[in-house]
Structures are given as C-alpha cells and as structure tokens.
Amino acid sequence: MFNWVKTAILMAAITALFGAVGGAMGGKNGMLLALGFAAVSNFFAYWFSDKMVLRMYNAQEVDESSAPQFYRMVRELAERAQLPMPRVYLIEEDAPNAFATGRNPEHAAVAATTGILRVLSASELRGVMAHELTHVKHRDILISTISATMAGAISALANFALFFGGRNSEGRGSNPIASIAIALLAPLAGALIQMAISRAREFEADRGGAEISGDPHALASALDKIHRFAQGIPLETAERHPETAQMMIMNPLSAGGLRGLFSTHPSTEERIRRLMAMSPGTA
C-alpha cells in the first residue's frame, strides 16, 4: 500500500513540475502543453514503463525451450515465493546484472544479462533471481520502474524548456529562466530517484532472496562477484540512461559526475555482512 501512495505522490509531483516549468517558459499555453505531456507521461509510465525499460535494454523474452535451465530456476523460485510466474528475459550484455520490473506481481518480469549467467554458479544465480522476485513480492517494482521512466521524462522537459525558451543568433538559449531550468533538471531527476527509492529496500530484498533461495551465503558470494566483475565491464545502456541504474541488483554506473546522483544502492560490503550474519553457524 505504501508503494502505491509513493507512486501517486510521485506522479502528482511530476505533473506539478511540468506545469510550473511550462508556465514559466510559455505562459498559459506552455503550461497547458506541459500538463498534457505530463498526463501522457503518467499514463504511459503506469501501463507501459516496464516494456519501455525492457526495450531500452533490448531484452529478449525466453521460455522453457529457449533457456530451459534459467527459466526452470525462475519458475521454481516463484513457486517457493508463492508468486505468479513472471515473464523472463535475457539481455545480451557482458556486464553481470539483473533487475525486475512491472506494475504488480501479476504483470511482472525479471531480466538478467548473459554476463551474469556466465559469471555466477547455479546457486549464486538462484540467490540473485530470488532477490529480484523479492522486489516483485514487496511491490517495489512499480515505484522503481515508474521513477526511472519519470526521471527520463524530466530530461525531455529540458528540451521542452529549450524549445519555449528560444535561441539567440549564436544558437544559445536566450531565456535565462530556461537556461536555469535546464541546468537544474538533471540534478532534479537524480534527486527524484533518491527520494523515491529507499536504500533499505535492497537490504530487504537481500534478506528475502536469501530466505526464498535458502542460501544466504550463495547470494553474498554472488554480490561479491558481481561487484568485482562490474567494475571492469561497463553496462552501456545504464550509462546512457542512469535513471534505470536503481533497478539493478548492483549499481552499474561508473563513478563521477552526475551519475553519482542516481546511486541508490547501499555498500556491497554491508550487504554481504548482513547476508553472512544470516548463514547457519554465523555468530
């Protein structure tokens, strides 16, 4: 229920932001156009944001005939978690990572890169996919996917501001309000992600994933491997669309610049420490 409230607040805030920027740039007509754009963005974000993200990563849906071991693993974990069977996708990327998306457990999808299938053992991969299914069970996926889509829409708002602000003879923005708005929009998108996505949700998904898979040590080992491999293998789509990074099991972004604004993951070391404390025989 809480995630539904957060989603409603997020959509209302985006609508208000679009209206304010549209009014500042283009008066009444600009506000109406921006509010119309916000309404369309909200509609598509709720109903189609999962498909947009999957398409962005060129994810390919698989089934029991095309990826039998992986598909059966997800099905077995979904049954253990008492969840409907999600759609299953593979992303042709060397960088090891995975995410879940969708608006509810009945319309959920899980995706993993081909890199993570190569890097992890079967037990480690089970832990990762159980982590993602925990996000589905906790209904984190709605706010996560919509916030990513909305942060991308804020970038489109920059182009909107530039359009209404006009350009001078040198091709630069001639409206100082538009210039200020454009300068603030990227940090604003990052702040939106930070406010919408709690770092605590990753700890909860780790705990739930360890319980569903029955092997906290394997998930801890998976996180350690992903962290080490991901540092040397960039996930190019995430670098181009940093607002989607918060959906991943591990932050895929290189450090520095505005990308740090989109970091929502707690430290890998702390996540591993908590999982190891769950292992049998650990004091």
Give whole-number Cα distances, 144 to 165, 183, 195, 202, 246, in Å: 32, 25, 11, 12, 7
Q: How far apart are CA 23 and CA 8, in angstroms?
A: 23
Alpha-carbon span 243 to 146, nearest angstrom:
10
Distance CA 275, CA 172 (A): 52
Can you give the pLDDT of all 283 residues of the chain as single tens digits?
Answer: 455 566 666 666 666 666 666 666 666 776 777 677 667 766 666 677 789 899 999 999 999 999 999 999 999 999 999 999 999 999 999 999 999 999 899 999 999 999 999 999 999 999 999 999 999 999 888 877 777 776 666 666 665 555 555 444 454 445 555 556 555 665 655 566 555 566 788 999 999 999 999 999 999 999 999 999 888 888 999 888 887 888 899 989 876 555 455 566 889 999 999 999 997 655 4
CB atoms inside a 10 Å sphere around CB 22 = 25
261-266's contacts with Cβ under 8 Å and 24+ in sequence apart are 261/186, 261/187, 261/189, 261/190, 261/191, 261/193, 261/194, 262/151, 262/189, 262/190, 262/193, 264/193, 264/194, 264/197, 264/198, 264/199, 264/202, 265/199, 265/202, 266/199, 266/202, 266/203
Q: Please give the pLDDT value at position 221.
A: 98
pLDDT of residue 167: 47
Contacts of 81 (CB under 8 A, 6+ apart): 130, 133, 134, 136, 137, 212
**What is the pTM (predicted TM-score) of this model?**
0.78
**C-alpha dist (Å) from residue 219 to 49, 86, 113:** 28, 21, 17
Query: What pLDDT is recorded for position 127?
Result: 98
d(Cα 148, Cα 57) in Å, to the nearest integer? Answer: 13
> What is the rounded distance in angstroms from the CA atom of residue 150 to the CA atom of residue 188?
11
Distance of alpha carbon 58 from alpha carbon 70, whole angstroms: 18
- List, by residue number, the catalytic residues: 132
- Burial class (CB within 10 angstroms; exposed 0-12, middle 13-18, buried 19+) of 8: exposed
| Confidence (pLDDT) at 283 | 45
Determine whether 122 is exposed, middle or buried from the number of CB atoms within 10 Å of its CB (0-12, 13-18, 19+): exposed
Length, in residues, of the chain: 283
Q: What gap in Å lies between CA 85 and CA 31, rounded to an integer?
A: 43
The per-residue pLDDT for 6 is 60
The reported pLDDT for the residue numbered 19 is 66
Contact 114, 91 (CB under 8 A): yes
